[in-house]
Structure 1
C-alpha cells in the first residue's frame, strides 16, 4: 500500500474547498447504520417502518453484461483509492485486469437531492439512467426502495454478501440487505482549532452553542440529521425514537444560538479551509474530512461528544433499467473482498463495512488501523447513534423547519 502520511497530506490539500461527499444541500444524513465490527450501538431500530417491505418492483432491462464488458458507476468525489503519482485508481484497474470489465467511474454524485433530481425523471419513466450502480446515503436509499427505483441484488452474483458486518445486515430501510450494500460510513462530531480557541478544547455541543469565547466563530452542518441529531443528543433525546416536539425543541436551541450571534453559518465540508486558518474556531464536522485535514494541520482537534455522535453510511444501489446489472453485482462483490476494501479505506479514511479489513490494515498500515475514527473501537462505537427513519410527512415538515433556520 502507498504511504499513509503522503496520501493524507495530498488529499487534505484536495479537500479544502471541495464539495463534500456528504453533500451541501438540506436534508442529508444517515439513519441506517446501527453498529460496526460486531458491536452494539444505541439507537438501532431494525425492521421498523421498512421501506423494502412494501416496495414496488423496479423495472428491469435485458442484461447486456455478457456482451458488453462495462459497468457505469457514479460516486461521490474523492471517495476511492488513487495513486497520487499517476492518478490511476488501483482497485478499479485490478478489477478490469481480473474480470476484463471496464468501469466507467464518474464522480458526479455531489449531493443526494441534486443527483436524485437528475435521475428521477428517467426512473419514473422506466428509462435507463446511463448508470448501473451508484452510492446513496441511507435516507435516500430508503426513498429509492420505497418508490421502486432500485433493483434487488442477485445474491448468486454476490457471494461476499457474507462479509457484510453482521450489525449492518438488518437495517430499518432494507432488512437483509437485499437492495443496498454499504460502501463507506462515518461519524459527525466536533472539530476545533486550538489557535482560535485560546488553547481550549471544544468537546460539547453546549460549548458550540453557548461559549462566549467562540461567539461568531462557530459553524454547524447543512446536514439536518447531523446538526439536529447532535443537538438532540446533547439535550438527552434518543435518536431512534425522538418525537416531533423533541426535533422542534432542538431547532429552537439552534435558533437561539444563531440569533445571539454565536453561529456564523452552516456549511458542508467547506468548513475545512476556515477551520485550518482559524477563521472558524470550532464546527460540526465529519470524521474522514478531519482525518485528512489533520495530516496537513496536526494541531486541529476532533472529538465525538460524550452525549453522542451521529453515524451514517453511503450504499451501493442498482437502479431500475440498468443495462449491466450482473457486472455491477460483480463489482460490488469484488469490493467486499477484505483485501480490496482495506486498500480503499487506507486511502479515503472512512469506516469499512466489510468484515476482515481491520486485520489487514493492522498489518499493512498500523497507524490507520489504530485510528478509532477509521477503525472504531467499542469506546468510540458506544457514542454512536443513528437518526430514525422519517415518514414522508415528517421529512417535509422537518426539512422546512431546518431550511428556515439555515436561511440567511
Structure 2
C-alpha cells in the first residue's frame, strides 16, 4: 500500500482547509435536514409513496431493480460523495486512498463531489430510479433518514456481504442494527458524528454545562443559548434527557419534547436556532452554550481552549452518512469491493486523519495512533465503547410523521 502523507493539523493552512470542508458539510446537511424543506417535499409529493416505514409498520420492503452487473468486464466504479469528505494529497491534486484502491484492484474510481444536499441529490436521481433507469452512479453516501426513504421506496439494492467481508467483520457494534436498516442489509456507514452540548467557559463564568436541562432552564444562560435547526438532533437530545430513546419513541414523546423546548423559548432562554453558524458566536462568547456537532467543535478547539464539549450522560444523537448502491447500478460488485476496502482499519485511519469525523470501523484507533496520537485519543473522533453505548440514532419516520413532525418543529423555530 502506498505511503500516505501525514497532514499537519496544527498549521493555519490545514485548519482552514478542514474548516472549509466541515463548514460545507454541516451547513449543507443543515439545509438537507431543514424542516421547511421537509414539509415542502411532503406537500408536493416528494415524500415516499405508500406513506409507510417498513421497519416501523411491518410493510414489505420493495425490491430494487437490478441491472446486469458489468463489474467483471468493466473495471470501474462511479462514486458520488459530499465535498471535502475524503483524504487528499498535500498538493490537493489526488486522493491517495482511491489511488491505492485502484492499484490494488485494478478498478478505476470515478469520484464525484456532487452530493451537495440530501434532498437536492434525491431530486436529481429520483426520476431515473422511478423510471427504472441507471442513475450513472454505482454508490453514493446518504444520511440516515434519506437511507430510510430510499429503502422503503425500493431504490437501493441489498448488499452482498460475500463481497464485503471487512464490512461484516469490522462495523462498530453500535451501528449494526439501526432501526432504519435492521441488520444493515442495504447500507454501511461511511462517516459518523455526534450532536452534544458545547459551551464557552468565559461566557458561562467557568460553569460546566453538561445536561439539556441546564441548557434549557439555567437562568445564568438566559438569552445566550442556541439549539440546532436540525430537528433530529435537537429533539433527539431532549428525548434522551426525558429518558426516552430517540430510536424508539412515540408521537406523545415527540410532542412532550417540543413542549419542553417551547417552554424554554417562551421563558427567553433561547437566543435562537442555528445551523453550524453557531461557531462564531460560541468562540466569541456571544453564545454561552448550545447544541453542537462534534466535527465543528474539534476544529474550534484548535482556535479557542475555552470552548468545551460534553456528550450528555443521558444520551445523545449519532448520525451517519452511509454507502448505498442504487437500483440499476451497472457495477455493483465493484462498488461492494470499494466499500470493503474502506472497512480496513488502516485505510479508514488515513481518511480520518483528514476529515476528523467518527470512523465506523473497528480498529481504526490503533491505526490512527500511528499517524497522529492526539487525534487517536480524541473521543470526539475515536469514541470509547462507553461513549458509543450512550449514542442513539434517531429512528426512521413514516411519510406522515415526516410531514407532521417537521411542521411542528418548523412552527417552534419560526414563531
State whether TM-score is above 0.5.
Answer: yes
What RMSD, in angstroms, separates the aligned Cα atoms of the two structures?
2.7
Number of corresponding residues: 391
3-state DSSP class of the match of 2:183?
coil
Aligned to 2:308: 301
> Match for 1:79 among 73, 85, 88?
85
- Unaligned runs of 5+ residues in structure 2 are 1-5, 36-53
Aligned to 2:350: 343
User: Is the Cα–Cα contact under 8 Å of residues 22 and 268 in structure 1 kept in the other structure?
Assistant: no
Tell me the distance in 2 between the aligned counterparts of 1:100 and 1:52: 42
Q: Which has the higher contact order (CA 8 A, sep 6+)?
A: 1
Aligned to 2:10: 5
User: Is the Cα–Cα contact under 8 Å of residues 172 and 389 in structure 1 kept in the other structure?
Assistant: yes
Q: Which aligned pairs between 1:141-160 and structure 2 lie closer than 5 A?
A: 141-160=147-166
Aligned to 1:56: 62
Q: 1:274 to 1:114 in 2, by over 3 A?
A: farther
- CA offsets per residue over residues 277-321 of structure 1, 9 Å max, x none? 333222111112211221233331111123221122221001112
3-state DSSP class of the match of 2:26?
coil
3-state DSSP class of the match of 2:71?
coil
Q: CA deviation at 1:206?
A: 2.2
> Match for 2:127 among 115, 121, 125?
121
Q: CA deviation at 1:190?
A: 0.8
Q: CA deviation at 1:345?
A: 1.7
TM-score by length of 1: 0.86
Matched, 1:406 2:413: yes
Tell me the distance in 2 between the aligned counterparts of 1:153 and 1:178: 6
Q: CA deviation at 1:381?
A: 2.8
Aligned to 1:373: 380
Q: 1:279 to 1:110 in 2, by over 3 A?
A: farther
3-state DSSP class of the match of 1:312?
strand
Tell me the distance in 2 between the aligned counterparts of 1:21 and 1:267: 10
Q: 1:232 to 1:136 in 2, by over 3 A?
A: same
Tell me the distance in 1 between the aligned counterparts of 2:386 and 2:363: 20
Aligned to 2:296: 289
- Unaligned runs of 5+ residues in structure 1 are 30-47
> Match for 1:233 among 240, 252, 257?
240
Aligned to 2:205: 198
Give 1 or 2: higher helix fraction: 2
Aligned to 2:38: none
Q: Which aligned pairs between 1:245-324 and structure 2 lie closer than 5 A?
A: 245-324=252-331
Q: 1:86 to 1:138 in 2, by over 3 A?
A: closer
TM-score by length of 2: 0.85
